Amino acid sequence: MVDIVTDSCADLSPELISRFNIRVLPLQVFIDNRTIPDGSISPQELFNLVSKTGELPKTSAPSIKEFLEFFEPADEIIYIGISSKLSATLPNGILAAHQLPQKRIHIIDSKNLSTGIGLLVLKAAELRNQGWTADDIVREIQATVPRVHTSFVIETMEYLYKGGRCTALQAIVGSVLKIRPIIEVRPDGTLGVKAKIRGTRRKALDSMLEDFRSHLPYLDSHRVFVTHTGCDEDANYLAKAVQSMAPIEEICITQAGATISSHCGPDTIGILFIADPHLTTEA
């Protein structure tokens, strides 16, 4: 059986990881003089450490050695990883794969983050379970990469700005207290400002919902993610609103891991889905 693997930036819950038989390689977060594997600390615990230390977390990609060990258990592997424009994780995976010519290791750049990766990983696992070959899965997932839509509301700019992950945000740092930016993952795998919403947080959430509504004519209604860094009430609000708009087969609410939380900060929340003009709501 093809081994479907990813990194911890996919923000998949333990239940989903177990249900779909996925292996996950953790990134590392350094804070309070400690190196913490992603997946072993909650967003709230992380933010409490930021408040305690006054420092932002630093994150690091898995080393080539860690990838070599991670790839060892299987002979045929499909690794779907965080955008190569956002992390050294995927390039390290490629270098490791080159050192294992005896294995069939397929590496896919998700050009995404968080459960934007997760959508691709779960689709790959479902195709594997349906008996698809690795080559066919890779072709289908690569074709799906540009169809993944990821956007999220940022409550505080401090994490992204100081982390240097989204230079397009610099123009609005001065107005952070008046504007809630909606960040999107762009087709090339970078981050950018999709909208600057003036007013309440609910207005920003509703703006994301309107964007979701605009994709309904060609939405893949199989699965939608609502992913957040510790704002359960808002997550339930978005999930209920999404479900009321379309007959979504599965809405997954997940919390972001330590790596994504380190760069996005508290009360970040997003809607992530697959949509394509070639699809219809009946597909």
Q: Is residue 30 part of a domain?
A: yes
Crossing angle for the helix pair 232-245 and 201-214, to the nearest 10 degrees: 30
CA 15 – CA 102 distance, rounded (Å): 32
Asked whether residue 185 is assigned to any structural domain, the reply reads: yes
Beta carbons of 264 and 229 less than 8 angstroms apart: yes
37 in a domain, yes or no? yes
Instruction: Decide if 231 contacts 204 (C-beta within 8 A).
Output: no
**Are 197 and 131 in a shared domain?**
no
Asked whether the CA dihedral 215, 170, 86, 261 is positive or negative, the reply is: negative
Q: Is the model's pLDDT at 200 over the cut of 70?
A: yes
Domain that holds residue 224: 147-274
Mean pLDDT throughout 269-273? 98
Q: Give the long-range contacts of residues 176-182, CB within 8 A, separation 24 or more.
A: 180/153, 180/154, 180/155, 180/204, 181/153, 181/154, 181/157, 182/151, 182/152, 182/153, 182/154, 182/207, 182/208
Q: Which of 73, 160, 86, 159 has the alpha carbon at shortest distance from 117?
A: 86
Residue 85: CB atoms within 10 A of its CB come to 16
Residue type, 10: A
pLDDT at 148: 98
The contacts of residue 240 (CB under 8 Å, 6+ apart) are: none
pLDDT at 21 over 50: yes
Q: Do 36 and 153 fall within a single domain?
A: no
How far, rounded to the nearest angstrom, does the alpha carbon of residue 16 sit from its chain's CA centroid? Answer: 14
* CATH code for position 249: 3.30.1180.10
Per-residue pLDDT reduced to its tens digit, 255-264: 999 999 998 8
Does residue 124 share a domain with residue 19?
A: yes
Number of domains in the chain: 2
Average pLDDT, the chain: 92
User: Of 118, 145, 172, which residue sits at a domain end?
Assistant: 145
Residue where one domain finishes, among candidates 145, 178, 199: 145
pLDDT exceeds 50 at position 83: yes
Residues 152 and 260 in one domain: yes
- Is residue 180 classed as helix, strand or coil in its secondary structure? strand
Q: Indicate whether this model's pTM tops 0.85.
A: yes
Query: Which band of pLDDT confidence, cut at 50, 70 and 90, is reported for residue 278?
Result: low
